[in-house]
Structure 1
């Protein structure tokens, strides 16, 4: 779990950039949990995980308040009232515990225990369109468990190299552990904190060669956090980064959405065609990116309602415009 150790003096409405959140917990704790899972199975893992996640939930004020903010917006958008007191506390912990169980599934994916037959493709038409695309940019979000989708790119008709644009400086222990678990994982991680013009050229070549690249479009830019479009999301305007949509435009290849969510103990993968390659004139780009951000927010909202306890963003996603440049004290 991640959170800034020194919190702002006010509540979650005082925004700061998500990359300022710092990892909580330790490498040893992760290894102990994985050892329990390997030796005793999922039943004991869940028993041990419960107090661990409860501790982080109770002591993590910022992340807890961010969860409540999200769930308040979600409940209202689904025609329910905001929960208060114990009901609100329980609903928030349900999401927090879901995150802990999702980490277990990440381990399985990295250990190579998940393959294509373990997945249900819920959108066959979108999957077929992905198969037919030589190179593809795929927008996703911190919803569900995208690590499970590695199986889609590791075998069968869609076997191809997979590139993931990511930021990992705020979770070094967890990322180092994943590398230790499986050093041969067929994923090329492109670290956005070091991303430059040369990387854009290399990425274009990879897509021309038929590879796929995944971009998590529910996070604002680390290097240019104010380059955003504010669009409606779960009843409030939220900032969505321009970067993913600008990069997709440069790549000139088909763009897809992909989410992998747990439904009744089984992972279902949803793949949608999001946009065709298109050349946008410079003067029209911002309007185009705004429309793409709006469309992405609408689809993310749809899937959040489908899997309400599987959107794992533990920071304030709806910062007030008047405080948008604020940082933690």
Structure 2
């Protein structure tokens, strides 16, 4: 055997446990035809980081699987026909919807698995955002034979091999026979820990009684000083309020006006800005677009100008496929400085 350290791992779940979950969907009117645990471990198998958002594209038997990962956990899964005429548009709508629903969604990577058609689709999706990188799905720290299996393009194979190697990396120790010496040592260690916990608990109780007595003495002393302390605290609050009002009154507004003019001047062939409203540090932009790419362009423009937390507040599609949208954002502290 070429790889002597190769291990085969098997995972299973009780049928009765799965039937409880299936019955919940059945009561809601859904019919469960398949149970797939692949995407639950796919993020770990591909080495996704906990603080990143990743879009995963996988072509399987005339079906395009679209999975949005937030960290290592799948946030949303959607299946589309692989040869759909508007496949790219549907994926952009999927991302636009997720961006409106999820706060602080920051798509950094697009991972693809399959043939050249999937790769081309991933690169077309990344053209509108230069910060997004496109990569092929690769198992981390895998053997050559595992990589060849992963090149087949099946997410199930990638998940199984990647998850198996992750568990094997921890070097699990099998205990297939009785080991009385180890068990006796474990029992002795447990008794010592119980004894140590009991002594620690007794010491903590004695210490608590001592400090409780000291606390009663300090409370009597605090009562004598509480009157003076309340007066000093009230004076400090009044001074802070006066200072805040003074700073707000003298704050220049030229910087905000210039930024609002830049937002109103936004123009493009795919969108039109109709109204800009600024009130109490919040920005509201109303407009229309020919497609979802136009809405994404305006969002990216607000982010580039320095507005914080740009997000989609309203989305309406007319009969002629014209999108009417409302975007919101907040004014950063840098604008207040002019």
TM-score range, shorter chain: under 0.3
* TM-score of the two chains, using structure 1 as the length reference: 0.19
Point out the structure with the larger strand share.
2
